Amino acid sequence: MSVLNKLRKLKELQEIDQEIDRLEELNEKIPRQISETENEEQALDEELEELKQQRKELIKRRDRKETDVQDYEGKIEDKKSKRFNLDSQKELESLNNEIETLEEKMADAEEEYLVLDDEIEKVEDEIREKTAEAQERFSELEEYRKEREQQLEKNQEKLEKLHEEREEARQELERTNSSLLDKYERIRDRRGQVLAAVEGETCGGCHQKLPPQLINDIREANSLQYCEFCNRMLYWHEDLNGGDQESS
């Protein structure tokens, strides 16, 4: 196999590997994306639950005020009924004062009752609004989750095919040039990307400046050449891209 053919075979393998890496990386993100939507839903639920709790407390306080008003009312009635059995003007004045005080307290309690009633109405409006918002958001998130799950499935199907393709390419190389395959796998384990194009005067993998003699050797393509810094296999991009690369 000529050096260029070797490089071409390895580049095919590398393209498969890069696509596998890309899809696996995407697939790793998807469960996280899904759990983020679940967290958001939970936060919305908690917000609503808090408002409902607030409403419950307000209702309790309002009901207590209602009881207070009824109590005062009873006491006032009671005092009023005693007005006719009094012996002196002084006793009547004192009783009237007591009634007045009770009436003031009752008016305060009624006022507080109304304030609480208003607050309850506001909280209920907020609950209605938030519930509608949450429902809308929930269906958006559900939609998004479905889309992510479908994407995951699609990626997995693609990955299965790619792994098959890779296995074929690997087996072919193993038959024809197993030491080349070993080299490829070793560099891939360490660097991920195995082949790097020469970019100007630098290695396209690590961007270190390459000696001119090495660049000449790469262009001549009589043997495989490696970057002395990152150890990747180097190629002259026009050789593997059929000259369709924009470069000078």
- Which residues here bind Zn ion, judged by CB under 5 A? 203, 205-206, 227, 229-230
Cβ-based nearer residue to Zn ion, 123 or 195: 195
Q: Is 90 left (phi over 0), alpha (psi -120 to 50) or beta?
A: alpha
Residue 225 Cβ vs Zn ion, minimum distance, rounded to whole Å: 11
Cβ-based nearer residue to Zn ion, 229 or 236: 229
Residue 196 Cβ vs Zn ion, minimum distance, rounded to whole Å: 6
Cβ-based nearer residue to Zn ion, 95 or 206: 206
Query: What is the full DSSP assignment across 149-164?
Result: HHHHHHHHHHHHHHHH
Measured CA to CA, the distance from residue 99 to residue 118 in angstroms comes to: 29
Cβ-based nearer residue to Zn ion, 16 or 203: 203
Measured CA to CA, the distance from residue 170 to residue 9 in angstroms comes to: 10
Residue 181 Cβ vs Zn ion, minimum distance, rounded to whole Å: 21
Half-sphere exposure of residue 217: CA atoms within 13 angstroms, side-chain side: 12
Residue 8 Cβ vs Zn ion, minimum distance, rounded to whole Å: 20
Phi, psi of 81 (to 5 degrees): -65, -20
Name, in order, each residue with C-beta under 8 angstroms of 166's C-beta and a sequence gap of 6 or more.
Answer: 13, 16, 17, 20
Orientation of helix 3-82 relative to helix 89-191, angle to 10° = 170
Measured CA to CA, the distance from residue 100 to residue 243 in angstroms comes to: 103
Residue 195 Cβ vs Zn ion, minimum distance, rounded to whole Å: 11
As to burial, measured by CB atoms within 10 angstroms (0-12 exposed, 13-18 middle, 19+ buried), residue 175 is exposed
Cβ-based nearer residue to Zn ion, 195 or 227: 227
The H or E element spanning position 226 is strand 225-226
Instruction: Please list the residues that pair with 203 across neighbouring strands.
Output: 198
Residue 204 Cβ vs Zn ion, minimum distance, rounded to whole Å: 8
Cβ-based nearer residue to Zn ion, 99 or 210: 210
Cβ-based nearer residue to Zn ion, 62 or 183: 183
Residue 202 Cβ vs Zn ion, minimum distance, rounded to whole Å: 8
